[in-house]
Amino acid sequence: MATCFWLRSCGARRLGSTFPGCRLHPRAGGLVPAPGPAPGPAQLRGYAGGLAGLSAALLRTDSFVGGRWLPAAATFPVQDPASGAALGMVADCGVSEARAAVRAAYEAFCSWREVSAKERSSLLRKWYNLMIQNKDDLARIITAESGKPLKEAHGEIFYSAFFLEWFSEEARRVYGDIIYTPAKDKRALVLKQPVGVAAVITPWNFPSAMITRKVGAAVAAGCTVVVKPAEDTPFSALALAELASQAGIPPGVYNVIPCSRKNAKEVGEAICTDPLVSKISFTGSTTTGKILLHHAANSVKRVSMELGGLAPFIVFDSANVDQAVAGALASKFRNTGQTCVCSNRFLVQRGIHDAFVKAFAEAMKKNLHVGNGFEEGTTQGPLINEKAVEKVEKHVNDAVSKGATIVTGGKRHHLGKNFFEPTLLSNVTQDMLCTHEETFGPLAPVIKFDTEEEAIAIANATDVGLAGYFYSQDPAQIWRVAEQLEVGMVGVNEGLISSVECPFGGVKQSGLGREGSKYGIDEYLELKKGR
């Protein structure tokens, strides 16, 4: 089992309601800010500078297939999670549009695979440059459709663009091998070749980065892609399509087919079972991942799966409390707790437990500010929809009914139906839902433990294993625990573990394969031997 360790060193840098009049209207295949009444002072504070002045070219509503913007027979609304207001109507692609996109990708693959690695590298670099040039508009699109605080949205755009930069460089490092055989006069040659058309299905919580992490690798390898973005956040995928076109990525190499929740199942099945598709890459729930694996099995397609997690965050008695609290804030409450690597279970050793809980509660009250993502100072935006809020509420109520104590938070926020207070629970036990279901929200449940062996047993008592974190100043313990945690990525005295240079992925039912890093491109390459 390969695991990526993050060990924090001194001085390590860290990344740092309704919007009236900011609805988006379809116009010439794109979107423009809608006219509306002048907002009052409180409303203005909530969205000033949000979507006003965005480039109309980046605000697209049609599908992008074979280098063309194509409408669909129907459309579906995309909503602002902060207010519930419609942002715009987007093409609702169905099975026929999905199959057409696959055909376009396959036709493009026949020529794209022959393009030199240097040229593919150059085009990806141009795409990266355009993302950086348009970073402010791209960030505002993310905040509008996902609710993510604008500062975090800017961070995502850099993270997203860095994958294109990274894989533009990796495109020129796809090497083969020459193997000495038992026969003195013979050698074997190993080539790496692109697998073909890749079906890419991405989630809403990182609507830009989850695309470039997959597509950058695929395109660098010589593959073509059909992207089905999450129905909640299609605008980011379509904006990337516009920039890919501007960068000179050939028609059919990057295709986007947005669809509604109603059509998502059949569209996903269509692209994953199409015989012209050779590869499936998916980020999302373990349940959906298993369905897609069944689709892939019938035609034995290559798959990459980044699925659910239940990350433990362990604080040992030897830990630096202030450092652990800072890491807990970063790990738990990034994107309002809506990331697959967010800490889901806090395991704190008895000797440091009370001090940690007290400091954590104080830090939450001081540093976490709930609000509209466009509002300056907001660190906690809305959850993606009311169903997500209901799950957090269910986990809190279940825990309290079984003896947990609410230290801070614990209820819906007055700002709106999709907002929930950052919540800290103590006296949590392993029979509570929040300890064995991924919450995907701003809930931090704390379990008290006595020994290292007990903490490891609790942390590993799950069928998933994406990320894990722990804080300790004991060098021997650091190595023991890092090796014993059954996860694909470990943060050691560190709460943020994602980087384009490092492999991202999990073990057990948290997925298959790795994304990013020098290993990410291998997911889109086949080995061919010659003698």
Residue 287: is it exposed, middle or buried by C-beta count within 10 angstroms (0-12/13-18/19+)?
exposed
Local structure of 516: helix, strand or coil? coil
d(CA 360, CA 369): 15
Distances (CA, A) of 172 to 117, 175, 217, 221, 525: 5, 8, 12, 9, 13
Give the whole-angstrom CA distance, residue 140 versus residue 119.
Answer: 31
Contact 524, 279 (CB under 8 A): yes
Considering the candidates 156, 165, 170, 306, report the single residue annotated as catalytic. Answer: 306
| Token output for 411 | 């209820």
Give the closest residue to 433 by CA, choosing from 397, 466, 460: 397
Q: Are 311 and 343 in contact (CB under 8 A)?
A: yes
DSSP string, 179-202: EE-SSTT-EEEEEEEE--EEEEE-
Q: Is residue 306 among the annotated active site residues? A: yes
The string of DSSP letters for 48-85 reads TTSSTT--GGG-B-SEEETTEEE--S-EEEEE-TTT--
- Which residues are CB-contacts of 110 (< 8 A; sequence separation ≥ 6)? none
Which residues participate in catalysis according to the annotation? 306
